[in-house]
Amino acid sequence: MAKIKVAVIGAGGIGGTHLTAYKFWQEQCEIVGISDINLAPAESRVREFGGKAFQSAEEMLDTVKPDAISICTPPNAHLASVQAAAARGIAVLCEKPPARTLAETEKIVETAAQSKSAFQFAFCHRFHEPVMQAREMIANGKLGKPVQIYNRFGFRFDRAGNSWFTDKETAGGGVLIDTLVHSIDIFRAITAQEINRVSGSISTILPNIRVEDSASILVTSTGGVAGSLNCSWVTPVSEAEIRIYGTQGEAVIDYNKPGGLLYKLAGDSDWSQLPADESLNRFTRQADHFLKCVDAGTQPIVGGADGIAVMKVIDAAYSSLKNENNVIQ
């Protein structure tokens, strides 16, 4: 295939991760531009990855004319970049959370649909190999009927309390919208079902912030799977784990351990582990899928509808915090 011209808007942390993934696929694509409202990080990324640095995203799109972009800015700026790309027929890989609210997400999805180009939300865990293996194991019935899913992403986040991540205007909320957004999409992907019940519980430990720095939600899916999804930015022991309990066995994804899916079926005396191809990570696989869709003119496996479904759960979880029916006097 002819090399796809890619550009990245937002040259911070995850911008670097997207650029690294595109560089990995340099036979398939060429990095032509990097923009950031602060020119210095864009220039620094250009020195490492090539292309041309810009302060204005629109000027970049009109000058280097990419076929596809990654949107790697904070959530408050996702919509404007999607509008700029859609107006020019450019394919988009947009970082999570989709936006600050459900309404803003719907606007993004509506805008993206007006251009027929590929549109993908960066729910990167769909491309984590053990998650892919868990989905397959459930789809082919090996674990039986899924009954419960437990997940926790917990760590001490040094940007909580001193950056846009804990500014509601920019981020839309705290750890619930930023990190638990992944948990919700993983639950939907693994069960292949939508969530139709949610209740949330949050806590804030850090001083001087107006958003939550820990969150837990209980969810139920349309097919009756119960989920306990938990995230924290203030606990020091780094944990990233998903446990899936089915009527015929259990599977565990531990991000801190190498290898593929761990599982134990009814009657097994010990745990087994599937092999994993460690040469690719979830970000390189995510970029690969996006580039293939751009090349083929098809829509990615995780698009606008997923963003809306996830944000409906986030919205309902925040609303559930205002419910007075479960308050004990």
Ligand X SMILES: NC(=O)c1ccc[n+]([C@@H]2O[C@H](COP(=O)([O-])OP(=O)(O)OC[C@H]3O[C@@H](n4cnc5c(N)ncnc54)[C@H](O)[C@@H]3O)[C@@H](O)[C@H]2O)c1
Alpha helices (runs of H) in 119-222, residue ranges in sequence order = 129-139, 168-171, 175-178, 180-191
State which residue, 11 or 160, has the beta carbon closest to ligand X: 11
Within residues 95-134, the interface with ligand X by CB under 6 A covers 95-96, 122, 124
Q: Whole-angstrom Cα distance, residue 25 to residue 284?
A: 8
Q: Is residue 36 within the footprint of ligand X (CB under 6 A)?
A: yes
For residue 175, give every residue at least 6 positions away whose Cβ sits within 8 Å of its Cβ, in sequence order, or none: 157, 160, 211, 212, 213, 214, 215, 231, 232, 233
Q: Is residue 276 within the footprint of ligand X (CB under 6 A)?
A: no
Q: Is residue 178 within the footprint of ligand X (CB under 6 A)?
A: yes
Which tokens go with 116?
A: 């027929």
Among 10, 33, 130, 172, binds ligand X (CB under 6 A): 10
Among 37, 206, 226, 280, binds ligand X (CB under 6 A): 37
- Minimal CB distance to ligand X: which residue? 12
State which residue, 12 or 161, has the beta carbon closest to ligand X: 12
Name the segment binding ligand X (CB under 6 A); options: 33-41, 113-121, 188-196, 209-217. Answer: 33-41
Q: Is residue 15 within the footprint of ligand X (CB under 6 A)?
A: yes
**Rounded to the nearest whole angstrom, what is the least distance from the CB of residue 315 to ligand X in the complex?**
17
One-letter amino acid for residue 25 of the chain:
W
Give the Å distances, CA to CA, from 30 to 23, 66, 69, 143, 196.
8, 9, 11, 42, 42
Q: Is residue 39 within the footprint of ligand X (CB under 6 A)?
A: no
Tell me 257's DSSP state: S
State which residue, 14 or 314, has the beta carbon closest to ligand X: 14
Among 4, 7, 8, 11, binds ligand X (CB under 6 A): 11
Alpha helices (runs of H) in 172-275, residue ranges in sequence order = 175-178, 180-191
State which residue, 9 or 310, has the beta carbon closest to ligand X: 9
Q: Is residue 14 within the footprint of ligand X (CB under 6 A)?
A: yes
State which residue, 35 or 166, has the beta carbon closest to ligand X: 35
Alpha helices (runs of H) in the chain, residue ranges in sequence order = 13-24, 39-49, 57-64, 78-87, 102-114, 129-139, 168-171, 175-178, 180-191, 282-296, 304-320
Beta strand pairing call for 119-122 and 52-54: unpaired
What residues make contact with ligand X under the rule CB under 6 A?
9-15, 35-38, 41, 57, 72-75, 77, 95-96, 122, 124, 178
